[in-house]
Structure 1
Amino acid sequence: MTSFAVQRSGRPTTADELAPLAFAGYAHFTAMQVRGGRIRGLDLHLERLRYASTELFGEAVPDDRVRALLRAALEAGPADLSLTATVYSTAGEFTVAGPDAEVEVLVRTGPAASGPRGPLALAAVAYERVLPAVKHVGEVAKTYFLRQAVEQGFDDAAFVDRRGRLTEGSIWNLAFWDGDAVVWPEGELLGGTTMGIVRRQLDRLGVPQRVEEVTLADLPALAGAVVMNSWTPGVAVHRVGSVSLPEAPSFLAVLHQAYEAEPPTSP
């Protein structure tokens, strides 16, 4: 029988324990796909949690402890699954953390996922996330703009900052292709773990890449675009706003090759 887990500090959690978290907005998380009990870019997930915990709470759960909690959750489920680790403080929100506040980790598992097939059409939305370098839970705008985009006939949304730069998607990183090199958008955005995996493996594969500003006006000169997140290293984007883009299958192939080159590890 297949079973998934919701664990707090390594043990099954109860409804009473979850109730204070139901509407909590001061927490951060990382999401990953587990295959065969192993995780690609585990070091990047741990780094993300350390950074965000220090930023939000002034302290971080030690890596060894986080890894033990991940292992406990994986042991309760199948070899292939989705896993989300959420870190929060027992002080809650709208308060100043006192000396008795503790930083806790909630680990939740569910069915494995691989994302949409694409190609996708993205609405261009003027929006800048608060604390963009932190993958925090206070993200009502992402779902709001996603739903607005779907109502307008798009699949999802891409964000444009006050300088007119494309930065990221609702739950995605953006990447572009000029025909020879991967172009990562410059701006205030969340550096995804899949993005980190792909970037370091592209370096090892000798594939050119660079970071530069990308605006809607720049898109016609580019040869392709994708979105990526923990589900997948690349889903083709064929339109952003009113601007069409080629699907660039060779670009997708390079990104998937880079991702597959990353050796998965066990927690």
Structure 2
Amino acid sequence: MPNETSLYPAALNGRPASAADLIPLAFAGFAHFTAIQVRDRKIRGLDLHLKRLSNASLAFFGRALRDEQLRAHIRQAIDAGPADQSLAVTVFSPDGEFTADSMQGDLAVLARSGPPSNGPKGPLRLAVIEHERPHPTIKHVGESSKTYYLHQAIRAGFDDAAFIDRQGHLSEASIWNLVFWDGETVIWPRAEMLTGTMMGTVQRQLERLGVPQRREEVTLSRLKDLSAAAVMNSWTPGIAVSAIGSTAIPEAKAFLDLLHRAHAAEPAKAV
């Protein structure tokens, strides 16, 4: 019977990754990645994942791999694992960090698969924590604060953490995008944050469905006027949020159904 390691392999630049390959990455912090849910060997929003990897590589390294190269690594990883899986594609410099050498030379790609996930059931209660992630528009590794504040939230009796910036605007949650509903319009926070690939697919499908959307600076005082809130990431297009800090938020099934319907409208394609 295959063990989990063989069932969910890791590949470095298209070949099986050895322990020697992975040891230097164990404590690496200068890298970026994208997280993908694979179902029936197909994914949604491939263009958004490729754009994320390209833009982050240009920001971090001043250069990027061609989309064809990234697609080949993603396709190979999907073919090597089960039909349903979680896939993380990480781009880094093999010359390491804390050195100018990472400014030149080839980039490396680590593709690592694991069991598929649909996220927690919810609803979630989110503690409010003032925090602004470094390089917030890039999905990068080594962010200890996200787990640190998750632990702090749980110790305070919550399920997870929502971040608020120094201007008092809600931005995102620990590993989630936040989204709100006023009964008619989907509201996305206006703040420095990561634009998730799930967020991108939901936004464009809501547009195609004719659902109104807007970006807004969401403060804690604004929450009492809203009809619903949810979090989303690569796992799921929507999990209900029942409280942010001391403010209780109604659960609106119609809002969650809308988010899931928008996600389902995004075509799932083979790479």
In the superposition, the TM-score normalised over structure 2's length comes to 0.97
Q: Is residue 156 from structure 1 mapped to residue 160 from structure 2 by the alignment? A: yes
SS in 1 for 2:121: coil
Distance 1:122 1:101 in 2: 43
Q: Which moved more, 1:203-212 or 1:1-10?
A: 1-10
Distance 2:105 2:189 in 1: 38
Q: How does 1:134-145 map to 2 (within 5 A)?
A: 134-145=138-149
Q: Is residue 247 from structure 1 mapped to residue 247 from structure 2 by the alignment? A: no
1:184 corresponds in structure 2 to: 188
1:219 corresponds in structure 2 to: 223
SS in 1 for 2:36: strand
Task: Tell whether the 8 Å contact from 2:94 to 2:102 is kept in structure 1 after alignment.
Answer: no
1:129 corresponds in structure 2 to: 133
SS in 1 for 2:133: coil
Deviations for 1:55-81, whole angstroms, at most 9, x for unmatched residues?
001111111111111111111111000
Q: How does 1:1-267 map to 2 (within 5 A)?
A: 3-97=7-101, 101-267=105-271
SS in 2 for 1:216: coil
Distance 1:59 1:75 in 2: 28
Q: Which amino acid aligns with 1:168?
A: E
Would the alpha carbon gap of residues 98 and 204 (structure 1) be closer, same or farther in structure 2, given more than 3 Å must change?
closer
Deviation at 1:96, TM superposition (A): 0.5
SS in 2 for 1:217: coil
Would the alpha carbon gap of residues 222 and 97 (structure 1) be closer, same or farther in structure 2, given more than 3 Å must change?
same
Deviations for 1:84-116, whole angstroms, at most 9, x for unmatched residues?
000000121111026863210000001000001
In the superposition, the TM-score normalised over structure 1's length comes to 0.98
Distance 1:233 1:99 in 2: 36
Unaligned runs of 5+ residues in structure 1 are none
SS in 2 for 1:17: helix
Distance 1:99 1:67 in 2: 23
Counting aligned pairs with the same residue, the percent is 57
Distance 1:123 1:99 in 2: 39
> How many residues align structurally?
267
Unaligned runs of 5+ residues in structure 2 are none
